[in-house]
Amino acid sequence: MTTQPLHARRSNGLLAAAISIALALAAGGIGGFATASSVATWYTGLEKPAFNPPNGVFAPVWTLLYILMALAAWRVWRRVGFSAGRATLTLYGAQLILNLAWSLIFFGLRQPGFALVEVVVLLAAVAATTLAFWRIDRPAGAMMIPYLAWVSFASLLNFEIWRLN
């Protein structure tokens, strides 16, 4: 009789999914706190490109993206566990920290130029994470594609805001 590895057991897997989502949403919440302090004040005074979405679009999009990326990380963990997935899951954690850092730099410090440099690093980390996830679990990699697309768009938006201001 064979037993499944601990990371593959259903009850532990569901708890891990919930923890993964909670951690991603916590990172988003911290970033959202920094963002909220500037959206109604500093951000409204900035020149923005015509393709800038309305402010109400950002929170639901980011919430969905955080949930998708958390579930993608969970799928990778379910597939290979922490030991075999250490490098890939560390990359995921690094891009999550970079994601938070962007909000703190752009909105908290109100530094679009510095945030532009940081978002390029974030974009590279998201692309690397997407590829690493894809190699382990294609659905997990596919779940990262909307996030990769949004960070690409955010990079362009950040560039235009920096350029216009």
- 1 within a domain of the structure (yes/no): no
- The residue with greater pLDDT, 15 or 98, is 98
Given this model, what pLDDT does residue 34 score? 85
**What sign has the CA pseudo-torsion 158, 162, 164, 165?**
positive
The 10s digit of each residue's pLDDT in 46-64 is: 999 999 999 999 999 999 9
Number of domains in the chain: 1
Half-sphere exposure of 98 (CA within 13 A, CB side): 21
Residue numbers of the domain that contains 37: 6-164
Given this model, what pLDDT does residue 9 score? 52
Cβ atoms of residues 112 and 106 within 8 Å: yes
Token pair, residue 161, equals 């805001």
Domain CATH number, residue 50: 1.20.1260.100
Read off the pTM: 0.90
- 98 within a domain of the structure (yes/no): yes
- 17 within a domain of the structure (yes/no): yes
Cβ atoms of residues 89 and 69 within 8 Å: no
Given this model, what pLDDT does residue 12 score? 73
